[in-house]
Structure 1
Amino acid sequence: MGSIRTVQRKRVTRSAGRSWLALAVYLGLAFGLSWLIALPLGVSGDGLEHPAFGAIALCMMLTPAIAALVTVFAIERPQHPAEALGLVPLRPAGRFLGYLGLGLAVPVTLIFAALIAGSVLGVYPADFVTFSAFHDLLTAQTGGGLSMPIGALVALQFVNVILGSILNLLPALGEELGWRGWLLPHLLRFGTVPAIVISGVVWGLWHAPLILLGYNYPTAPGWLGLLMMTGMCTLMGGVLAWLRIRSRSVWPAALAHGALNASIGLAVVFAQSGEDIDTVHATILGWSGWILPAVLIVVLIATQQFTWPPRATVRRRSFF
């Protein structure tokens, strides 16, 4: 009997050791590869004006996925790697499609609501009537009059957001395969709130090479920009975590990440002409935009929407 318990303890110890090793390898690769790729931005002195900035940023987005793949196949070697990464299951189809729809709608709604909240609080210079900043931008781009009423052009921006979300899906999957596909489930053993906070902080700090150069927060000192980015990533990461957990899939979170990236530009569409937008205070990036996501997460926690694994999931291995 004693020998059986000893063997069991050794197995638990080995499992725990492998789990910590996997976490260390994942974080080392995700951060190391990303910061290595971003190195030319700082070394050249061009910063965000570097001619290859777009390609560098895109390659950075792939590093969490690379780290997750290496960790799964080289360290963990599970029986079902696709399931371990959240790529499957895709059933039941109705539930999966429903969460894909939420992945598209929820981020766009939160970003638009952030503009309303910022306007009410006096930190976002909104123009929800004449869309003056957007009007001026289009006029400058076309060099003349508008091809259709400004209201119709504003409505088309939401169509562009949908298309952009779909186009952003695969680049966003480069991040989400790591953050929500692999990392989040490994942190949930510490509890829901710690998992959301830790994964959000990791996600935010991962952006450091760009944020410290002025990305997203051009008017803020580097330390403040990084602090704000970490706060935003923690809150929006909680929303993405909910999509990942409830759907049992990384795809809705990846689509939501793509929608988040695609709809950031709405801040210009609804702004007042001639006014600056301080992202420390306004938009989803600023504190005023964090209010509704924070409320949503509190409600989701209170209603036990972060139960892992979801209660509806019975171990039936039907991936497709």
Structure 2
Amino acid sequence: MTNDTSKTNAPKTNASTTADRRPQWLELIVALVSAVLIYGAGIVLLGIFPAPTAALEGVAGLFFSGAAPILVFTIVVLVRMRDLSAFGVRRVEPRWLLIAVLLAAACFAVIVTFDTVVQHLFPGVDDSQDTLRAAASGGVLALIGTIFFGAVLTPLGEELVFRGILTRFFERWGSWAAIVLSTLIFAVFHGINLVLPSALLVGLVNGWLMVRTKSVWPGVVVHIVYNSAFLILYSFG
């Protein structure tokens, strides 16, 4: 009687291989510690060396909001060098990028309507976006910096961290757990203020896109289009 070793020696399935490659607890802890140190240092530096104008303050803040998560993501990747597809940095079908643009437009319409209603019901309510408005309306150079840092660098950095690391990590507990948990963290990260509904909506959409496509790029597109629309709107004062 011969031993059948085909089962014990069989390679892992695609599903189990994918699960093994996604971010683990080590990456999550490194991301948390790195974020605390980097954001803490950034806040201190911005406090010690304040910008001379509100417009420059806004541009500097947007640069930091994009550079910081990219640095966090880089540190996490270097912990255990692996294929970046483990973090959702992978190609996606072009149709998903078109879907992302349409979803971004829908999110923009919903939040503009929400903000209009809130401003009508509570005139003069602070939406904590004064520095962004100052940057976007601070002249051509300030607007270029605002668009690049706020609508390109920041979306890229935040999607790599919140979807590429967090959503992928939380997928071990199921798709909806991944979407909801990463969305809540993303929303709270943006502050308990009038921006919260916006962050919740975009977080839910991008979390769903991440789970559905296994790629960060649709979420990056949503984020770029959404942020661009608001920054251009702010440029009109």
Please classify the TM superposition score into its range, dividing by the shorter chain length: 0.5 to 0.7
Q: Distance in 1 between matches of 2:225 and 2:73?
A: 22
- Which of the pair has more CA radius of gyration? 1
Q: Which residue of 1 aligns with 2:15?
A: none
Aligned match for 1:252, one of 212, 215, 218: 218
Q: Does 1:234 align with 2:234?
A: no
Greater helix proportion: 2
Question: Aligned residue for 1:42?
Answer: 47
Write the letter of the residue equivalent to 2:72: A
**1:33 and 2:38 are equivalent in the alignment:** yes
The TM-score normalised by the length of structure 1 is: 0.50
Question: Which of 169, 174, 185 is residue 157 of structure 2 equivalent to?
Answer: 174
Cα distance in 2, alignment partners of residues 269 and 43 from structure 1: 28
Which stretch of the first structure deviates more once superposed, 50-59 or 186-195? Answer: 50-59
Identity %: 23
Mapped to 1, the partners of 2:152 and 2:234 lie a distance apart of 23
2:52, 2:196 → 1: CA distance?
21
Q: Given the superposition, is the C-alpha separation of residues 116 and 180 from structure 1 closer, same or farther in structure 2, using an over 3 Å criterion?
A: same
Give 1:182 deviation, angstroms. Answer: 1.9
Check the 8 A contact 1:38/1:57 in 2, yes or no: no
What runs of 5+ residues in structure 2 fail to find an aligned partner?
1-19, 122-136, 138-146
Residue 183 of structure 1 is matched in structure 2 by 166
CA distance in 2, matches of 1:231, 1:267: 18
Shift of 1:103: 1.7
Give the aligned length.
Answer: 192
Could you list the runs of 5+ residues in structure 1 that have no partner in the other structure?
1-14, 126-140, 142-163, 209-223, 272-320
Specify the SS of the correspondent of 2:24.
Answer: helix
1:111 corresponding residue in structure 2? 108
Residues 270 and 109 from structure 1, CA distance in 2 versus in 1: closer, same or farther, beyond 3 angstroms? farther
8 Å Cα contact 1:201/1:231 also seen in 2: no
The alignment status of 1:57 with 2:62, answered yes or no, reads yes
* Deviation per residue, 1:22-59 (Å, 9 max, x gap): 21111221243123223233345769838454134213
Q: Which amino acid in 2 is paired with 1:188?
A: E
TM-score (norm 2): 0.65
